[in-house]
């Protein structure tokens, strides 16, 4: 029986787990760093504990601090969320050794899937199709060039310990190889602590399809259908939906069976996701298995009615799955949009700062999983995800209509967000009709962004607004004529340069 869970995470996922704990009558213990003093999870948890400086290695990624705290406060279990320690087999082993329940798979399963090359060879053995390429790390640039020639350019160079779009690069020709090799190695070492890299054939215009699986410690395996996550920027998902509009029931049978195979191959228990690349002919290849809860898990929850986080906790306690495969069916359609603090107009660079105003959408069929409020800080230390909006309706079109209006209801000021960029995607004919692949944003949408020679209605309102403010400031005497004079003199000085 789990009585207290330490949540070793932050942001929206910490909030999501706290909510599950509360509904289960379990005490939730949150942790926070200097940068997260004003984040929502610290307010909603039954208990919150300060664990150190903003730098993740001093707080959310400090193994000793987290395990010591769990012991000190008598937490029976640790939920890692996603990112940070979620797929760190050493951490999981340390938790297991400390006699604390890890809410996730065993350290062994995580290790088997954690290294991409080992996972690829494990899948190959278990007749799960993999993308052509190496199943071992590259030893040298020379070897890499040789193999790339064999499988044919373009190829993808990827970090063996990678994920989340980091440590990955497309190489078009031999002359780009060495530079990319060094860059991916550098990024891999920084982000994952290992500089091992491997090669995969680059699949043209694939879709990203993934299957949610869940299993208990008694050997029961169930899938919760697929999600489509092809709308990505910088190789990171921003829009996800379930079910996929690209998949027919025959293909669904194949991919879900493959996913169950993959999970069985690593003796998996708890919630996990098998990611696949699917080409135009609906051939599919194993990409990786994420041995954790995923950012986009809510879309699956909406169409199946299963609470994945509660189920994770129940499985960790040693219970059997609360449902069987035959009880599950797809009900309706769900779409998620990720609201990031980033500037789509400037290569999606993260935007940091204090949130001056935060208002989120609501209403029928709209679910928000958020982690911040007015006054919270978006810092440079962590992922800039602010909030997720999940819309649910009887079919895809209904869910899209809800998303269009929900995105309009957000008001987030103080940091630049991608809300307007997302809204634009939900107006594209190709997106509405389900014609896209993982390169859709880079290839199509970014070019379609209006360069905007005409003044838009929004710009017009913004112009009027600032003129009114300026006028009020002048009438309140804040800007005197003499000050205007000073400004003019300043310009005159500048011209002498």
Partner 1 sequence: MNEFVVTINKKKVRVSIASENKAKIDGKEYNYSLSKLNGNSYKLSVNNKSYLITAIKNGSEEFFVTLKGQTIEIKILSAIQEKAANLIEKTKVKHSITTIKSPMPGMILKIKKKVSEEIEQGDSLLILEAMKMENDIRSPVSGKIKEIKIKEGQAVEKGTPLMIIE
- Candidate ranges 67-75, 211-219, 309-317, 375-383; the one touching partner 1 (CB under 8 A): 375-383
CA distance 359 to 59: 29
Question: Total number of residues binding partner 1 (CB under 8 A)?
Answer: 64
Site string for partner 1, 440-469 (x = CB under 8 A): ------------xx-x--xxxxxxxxxxxx
Answer yes or no whether residue 190 interacts with partner 1 by CB under 8 A.
yes
Answer yes or no whether residue 478 interacts with partner 1 by CB under 8 A.
yes
Nearest CB to partner 1, comparing residues 50 and 465: 465
**How near is the Cβ of 471 to partner 1 at its closest, in Å?**
5
Nearest CB to partner 1, comparing residues 326 and 494: 494
Could you confirm whether 234 is annotated as catalytic? Answer: no
- Candidate ranges 35-43, 46-54, 208-216, 418-426; the one touching partner 1 (CB under 8 A): 418-426
Site string for partner 1, 351-370 (x = CB under 8 A): xx---xx-x-----------
Answer yes or no whether residue 191 interacts with partner 1 by CB under 8 A.
yes
Answer yes or no whether residue 257 interacts with partner 1 by CB under 8 A.
no
**How near is the Cβ of 225 to partner 1 at its closest, in Å?**
31
Answer yes or no whether residue 480 interacts with partner 1 by CB under 8 A.
no
**How near is the Cβ of 142 to partner 1 at its closest, in Å?**
24
Nearest CB to partner 1, comparing residues 246 and 421: 421
Answer yes or no whether residue 322 interacts with partner 1 by CB under 8 A.
no
Nearest CB to partner 1, comparing residues 1 and 492: 492
Answer yes or no whether residue 172 interacts with partner 1 by CB under 8 A.
no
Nearest CB to partner 1, comparing residues 226 and 336: 336
**How near is the Cβ of 186 to partner 1 at its closest, in Å?**
8
Answer yes or no whether residue 381 interacts with partner 1 by CB under 8 A.
yes
Answer yes or no whether residue 414 interacts with partner 1 by CB under 8 A.
yes
Nearest CB to partner 1, comparing residues 24 and 56: 56
Nearest CB to partner 1, comparing residues 164 and 434: 164
Exactly one of 205, 245, 319, 487 binds partner 1 (CB under 8 A); which one? 487
Answer yes or no whether residue 148 interacts with partner 1 by CB under 8 A.
no
Q: Per-residue b/e over 332-356, b at no fewer than 16 CB within 10 Å? A: bbbbbbbbbbbbbeeebebbbeebe
Answer yes or no whether residue 215 interacts with partner 1 by CB under 8 A.
no
User: Which residue is associated with the tokens 């879309």?
Assistant: 299
Is residue 109 a contact partner of residue 269, using CB atoms and an 8 Å limit? Answer: yes
**How near is the Cβ of 359 to partner 1 at its closest, in Å?**
7
Question: What is the CA 183 to chain-centroid distance, rounded?
Answer: 23
Nearest CB to partner 1, comparing residues 218 and 357: 357
Catalytic residue among 292, 338, 367, 396: 292
Q: Map the footprint of partner 1 across residues 324-353, applying CB under 8 A.
A: 343, 346-347, 349-352
**Which three-class secondary structure string do you get for the chain?**
CCCEEEECCCHHHHHHHHHHHHHHCCEEEEEEEHHHCCCHHHHHCCEEEEEECCCHHHCCCCHHHHHHHHHHCCCCEEECCCCCCCCCHHHHHHHHHCCCEECCCCHHHHHHHHCHHHHHHHHHHCCCCECCECCCCCCCHHHHHHHHHHHCCCEEEEEEEEECCEEEEEECCHHHHHHHHHHHHHHHHHHHCCCCEEEEECCCCCEEEEEEEEECCCCCEEEEEEEEEEEEECCEEEEEEECCCCCCHHHHHHHHHHHHHHHHHCCCCEEEEEEEEECCCCCEEEEEEECCCCCCHHHHHHHHCCCHHHHHHHHHCCCCCCCCHHHCCCCCEEEEEEEECEEHHHCCEECCEECCEEECCCCCCEEEEECCCCCCEECCCCCCEEEEEEEEECCHHHHHHHHHHHHHHCEEECCCCCHHHHHHHCCCHHHHCCCCCCCHHHHHHHHHCCCCCCCCHHHHHHHHHHHHHHHHHHHCCCCCHHHHHHHHHHHHHHHCC
- 475 Cβ partners below 8 Å, 6+ apart? none
**How near is the Cβ of 419 to partner 1 at its closest, in Å?**
3
Exactly one of 49, 153, 323, 420 binds partner 1 (CB under 8 A); which one? 420
CA distance 238 to 7: 25
User: Which residue is associated with the tokens 């979620």?
Assistant: 86
φ/ψ of residue 298, rounded to 5: -60, -30
**How near is the Cβ of 430 to partner 1 at its closest, in Å?**
21
Nearest CB to partner 1, comparing residues 298 and 384: 384
Answer yes or no whether residue 71 interacts with partner 1 by CB under 8 A.
no
Answer yes or no whether residue 183 interacts with partner 1 by CB under 8 A.
yes
- Candidate ranges 130-138, 264-272, 279-287, 379-387; the one touching partner 1 (CB under 8 A): 379-387
CA distance 428 to 444: 10
- The token pair at 37 is 């003093």
Q: What residues are annotated to the active site?
A: 292
Q: List residues binding partner 1 (CB under 8 A).
A: 166, 183, 186-187, 190-191, 234, 343, 346-347, 349-352, 356-357, 359, 380-384, 407-408, 410-417, 419-420, 423, 452-453, 455, 458-471, 473-474, 478-479, 483-484, 487-488, 491-492, 494-495
């Amino acid at each position: 029986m789990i009585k207290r869970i330490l949540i070793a995470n932050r942001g929206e996922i910490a909030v999501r787990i706290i909510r599950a704990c509360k509904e289960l009558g379990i005490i939730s213990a949150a942790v926070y760093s200097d940068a997260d003093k004003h984040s929502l999870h610290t307010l909603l948890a039954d208990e919150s504990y300060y664990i150190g400086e903003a730098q993740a290695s001093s707080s959310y990624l400090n193994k000793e601090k987290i395990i010591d705290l769990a012991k000190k406060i008598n937490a029976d279990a640790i939920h890692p969320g996603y990112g940070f320690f979620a797929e760190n087999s050493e951490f999981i082993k340390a938790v297991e050794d400390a006699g604390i329940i890890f809410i996730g798979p065993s350290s062994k399963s995580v290790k088997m899937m954690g290294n991409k090359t080992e996972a690829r060879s494990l899948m190959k053995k278990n007749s799960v199709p993999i993308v052509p390429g190496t199943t071992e790390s590259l030893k040298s640039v020379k070897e890499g060039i040789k193999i790339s020639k064999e499988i044919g350019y373009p190829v993808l160079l990827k970090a063996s310990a990678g994920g989340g779009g980091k440590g990955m690069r497309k190489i078009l020709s031999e002359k780009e190889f060495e530079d990319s090799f060094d860059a991916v190695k550098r990024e891999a070492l920084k982000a994952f602590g290992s500089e091992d890299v491997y090669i995969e054939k680059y699949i043209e215009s694939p879709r990203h399809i993934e299957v949610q699986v869940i299993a208990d410690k008694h050997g029961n395996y169930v899938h919760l259908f697929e999600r489509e996550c092809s709308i990505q920027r910088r190789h990171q998902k921003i829009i996800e939906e379930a079910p996929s509009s690209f998949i027919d029931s025959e293909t669904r049978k194949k991919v879900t069976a493959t996913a169950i195979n993959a999970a069985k191959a690593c003796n998996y228990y708890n919630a996990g996701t098998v990611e696949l690349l699917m080409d135009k002919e609906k051939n599919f290849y194993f990409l990786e298995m994420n041995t954790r809860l995923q950012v986009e898990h809510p879309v699956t929850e909406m169409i199946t009615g299963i609470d994945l986080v509660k189920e994770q906790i129940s499985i960790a306690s040693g219970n059997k799955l609360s449902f069987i495969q035959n009880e599950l069916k797809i009900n309706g359609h769900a779409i998620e949009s990720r609201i990031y603090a980033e500037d789509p107009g400037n290569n999606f660079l993260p935007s940091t700062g204090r949130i001056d105003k935060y208002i989120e959408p609501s209403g029928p069929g709209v679910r928000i999983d958020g982690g911040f409020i007015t006054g919270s800080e978006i810092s440079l230390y962590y992922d800039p995800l602010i909030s997720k909006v999940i819309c649910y309706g009887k079919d895809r079109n209904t869910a899209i209509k809800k998303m269009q209006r929900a995105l309009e209801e957000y008001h987030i000021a103080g940091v630049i967000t991608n809300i307007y960029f997302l809204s634009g995607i939900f107006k594209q004919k190709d997106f509405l009709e389900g014609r896209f692949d993982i390169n859709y944003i880079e290839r199509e949408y970014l070019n379609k962004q209006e360069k905007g020679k005409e003044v838009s209605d929004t710009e017009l309102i913004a112009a009027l607004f600032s003129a009114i403010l300026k006028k009020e400031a002048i009438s309140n005497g804040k800007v005197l004529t003499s000050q205007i004079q000073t400004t003019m003199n300043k310009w005159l000085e500048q011209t002498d340069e």
